[in-house]
């Protein structure tokens, strides 16, 4: 019952509320968390900066959702996602010239149209030599990335 209560809480909170539990998950998976943003315009779409167990810099944009992120809701987030992918990670502990991984994390799900748009954008970013936007939705584990 405690697991179910925790799950219900995690899927109903905003990104600020699940930021610390998500950082704890990262640490448990072997990541070194180097920065958590205060959620302002200066963040360049990057709520959390970390180094994965293989030494690869990673940036995470967190979004809370009470259900599925629709195309209309995604339109509010797309500029942050673009900055997440296109602007290098800038932090004293991270070499901005190193290849990086970027993640869009939601405690909800993504509508099909949103998933298709992200796939289309990923093809364009790959063509331009940028990292793909990896999505982590409710229930996924980081270990597969």
Report which of 83, 14, 16, 11 is spatially closest to residue 46, judged by C-alpha positions.
Answer: 83
Please list the pLDDT of the chain residue by residue as tens digits (145 residues): 445 544 554 555 555 667 888 888 899 999 999 998 876 555 567 899 999 999 999 999 998 877 889 999 999 999 999 999 999 999 999 998 899 999 999 988 899 999 999 999 999 999 999 999 999 988 676 555 5
Query: CA 57 to CA 94: how far, in whole Å?
Result: 7
Picking from 77, 65, 49, 76, the residue whose alpha carbon sits closest to that of residue 106 is: 65
Q: Which of 14, 35, 24 is nearest to 89 (CA)?
A: 35
Calculate the CA 30 to chain-centre distance.
17
Per DSSP, the three-state class of 13 is coil
For residue 86, give the nearest of 29, 130, 116, 33 by alpha carbon: 130
Whole-structure pTM value: 0.86
Sort strands 57-63 and 48-51 into parallel, antiparallel or unpaired: antiparallel
């Amino acid at each position: 019952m405690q697991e179910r209560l925790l799950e219900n809480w995690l899927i109903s909170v905003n990104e600020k509320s699940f930021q610390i539990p998500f950082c704890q998950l990262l640490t448990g998976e072997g990541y070194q968390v180097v920065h958590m943003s205060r959620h302002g315009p200066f963040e360049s779409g990057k709520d959390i900066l970390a180094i994965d167990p293989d030494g690869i810099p990673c940036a995470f944009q967190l979004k809370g959702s009470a259900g599925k992120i629709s195309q209309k809701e995604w339109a509010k987030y797309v500029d942050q996602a673009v900055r997440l992918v296109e602007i290098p990670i800038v932090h004293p502990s991270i070499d901005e010239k190193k290849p990086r991984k970027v993640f869009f994390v939601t405690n909800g799900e993504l509508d099909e149209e949103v998933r298709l748009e992200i796939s289309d954008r990923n093809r364009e970013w790959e063509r331009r030599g940028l990292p793909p936007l990896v999505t982590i939705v409710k229930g996924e584990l980081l270990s597969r990335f």
